[in-house]
Amino acid sequence: MSIFLDTTPLRTSPAFRRLWLGQGLSVLGGYMTTFAVTLQLYNLTHSSLAVGAAGLCSALPAMAFVLLGGSIGDAVDRRILVLSATSGQMAVSILFALQAFAALRIPALLYGLLVLQSLLTAVNAPARRTFLPRLLPKDQIRAGNTLNMVVMRFAEMAGPALAGVIASVWGLKACYTLDAFSFTAALYGVGRLPAMPPEGGPSRPTLRSAAEGLRFLIRQPVLMGAFFADLSVTVLGVSTALLPALNAARFGGNPQTLGLLMGATGVGGLAGSIFSGPLRRVSREGLAVLVVGALWGGCIALLGASGVLWLALACLFVAGAADTMLVVLRTTIVQVNTPDAYRGRVSGIDYLVGAAGPQLGNLRAGLMGTVFPVGVALVIADCPAWRGRWPSGSPSLPSGTTGPPRRVTGRRAHAEPNALYPLRRRRRGIGPPVPAPRAPTSRRTSLRPNRMMLIRSKTQTSHSPANGARRSLCRTGPCR
């Protein structure tokens, strides 16, 4: 069996092939615009805070309105919706280019264009994700998602590098212009698609419709498990914010070394997409998601303990490959197990999970990096403590208690011998023997003495002649 990715969708579906090429060129242009906006803002303000605010303007509006955007995708023809949203994004790129040609020095204008572009993404992304299950048979959906990840990873690596070369030769205006032209390929790929109305009848794009999509998702344990598994990996495992501190603490703080560390994940993700042939044999996507998530966590924990550069790069490389496989498996689970009538809203939640998880992970990593050393912050995030609950009434615990057995001392050590050792150890002959069970006793014959037992004991001892001296001593002093 080949270890390379499955290219069957490109050979068998011309519609998918056109959509894939157009989306790849558009994503490449999008990374060029991201690079150009970042550099332009820094040149205007010389402030890292201003550059960080650009990231918020790009992420927060899309996260806030993606559920409503998904409900719109379940209400109208998705092909027409994607054409309209893509045309709007192309218009925003033209405005970026015009302000660059006019040499405007207004950061607020850049922020406003980023917010507008993010709102259009909230409508475009969920509807676009519904195309794949309509264009490919069920057994090729995973291969189609892998091919989409190839162009995403390639654009993530090549886009900023290409933009840097173009900006150094022709300026930032050339980056904006090329991005605007790249949308023509995306429009061509979507325009050649057939009509894509939602199956089962459209729904009204309201907040109630978005809430209905959430209720549907909550009732689907397979989808919820996929989303929670992905969030556990990204929120607890993404640690890009700690890489500068790790580089300064262990690798001399060289900027070139930091570039290698930050680029290793992308290289690993691209390699994981290209050599994804073994994914064809996966029949249980849920189990594969757990295995890949554990692989990611182990790589990040090993990164925190690494002290040599090659081991750190290897950990990040494998983590990037695991991240790509996780995204492919999660997206396949969502697209296969979601009815078409809900696919726009659930795809919006899928986009939200993929976009918000890494941001929250970097926030968590930054907070932990301010409290713990960088190595400790990387390790403890991916090696959580035991959080299980012992079942109530366990043979190794007193009934009605939870938690691991605690050490019992004093009088309770004799009253509760079974609380010291688990049942399995006692069966193997390790530890004190189990006392024989006592026969059930009535209240009259219990071990606690009562008034009737004391009267009977005095009556029996009073008739014994040998007790006379003892009784006299007890009257004059303590009887021991």
What's the rounded mean pLDDT across residues 89-118?
Answer: 94
Mean pLDDT of the chain: 79
Confidence of residue 91 (pLDDT cuts 50, 70, 90): very high
Q: Is 3 exposed, middle or buried (0-12, 13-18, 19+ CB in 10 A)?
A: exposed
DSSP letter at 457? H
Confidence of residue 438 (pLDDT cuts 50, 70, 90): low
* Contact assessment for residue 169 and residue 46, using Cβ atoms and an 8 Å cutoff: no
Task: Give the per-residue pLDDT at 48.
Answer: 73
Q: Average pLDDT of 132-161?
A: 91
Is residue 355 very low, low, confident or very high in pLDDT (cuts 50, 70, 90)? Answer: confident
- Decide: 188 and 18 in contact? Cβ < 8 Å: yes
How does pLDDT run across 234-277, given as a tens digit for each residue?
888 877 778 888 888 888 878 778 878 888 888 898 898 888 88
Question: If we measure between CA atoms, which residue out of 369, 370, 386, 387 comes closest to residue 378?
Answer: 369
Per-residue pLDDT, averaged over 401-417, amounts to: 42
pLDDT top residue among 283 and 217: 217
- 445, 439 Cβ separation under 8 angstroms: no
* pLDDT band of 357, cuts 50, 70, 90: confident
Helices and strands in the chain: count of H runs, count of E runs: 20, 0
Provide the pLDDT for residue 471: 39
Q: Kindly give, in sequence order, each residue whose CB lies less than 8 Å from that of residue 340, ignoring residues fewer than 6 positions away.
A: 130, 133, 134, 198, 199, 200
Number of other CB atoms surrounding residue 462 within 10 Å: 10
pLDDT (average), residues 28-42: 91
295-304, 372-381, 432-441: the lowest-pLDDT one: 432-441
Phi-psi region at 433: left, alpha or beta (left = phi > 0; alpha = psi -120 to 50): beta
- Angle at alpha carbon of residue 56, lines to 52 and 62, rounded to 5°: 155
Q: What is the mean pLDDT of residues 297-318?
A: 89
Q: Which amino acid is at 135?
A: L
Q: What is the pLDDT of residues 199-216, one digit of tens each?
A: 876 677 778 888 888 899
Largest CA distance in the chain: 125
Which DSSP state fits 428?
T
- Cα gap 67→210, rounded to integer Å: 6
Residues 6+ apart with CB under 8 A from 196: 77, 78, 79, 130, 131, 134
Among 94-103, 113-122, 139-148, 259-268, name the one with the lowest average pLDDT. Answer: 259-268
Q: Find tokens 């064809």 and name the residue.
A: 280
Question: How far lies 297's CA from each of 260, 281, 373, 384, 437, in Å?
Answer: 20, 23, 18, 10, 48
Kindly tell me if the per-residue pLDDT of 112 is higher than 90.
yes
pLDDT tens for each residue of 171-204: 999 999 999 999 999 999 999 999 999 887 667 7
CA distance 86 to 372: 45
pLDDT tens string 73-86: 898 999 999 999 99
CA–CA distances in Å: residue 54 to residues 229, 243, 284, 348, 418: 29, 21, 40, 22, 62
What pLDDT digit, counting tens, does each position of 410-425 carry? 444 444 344 334 444 4
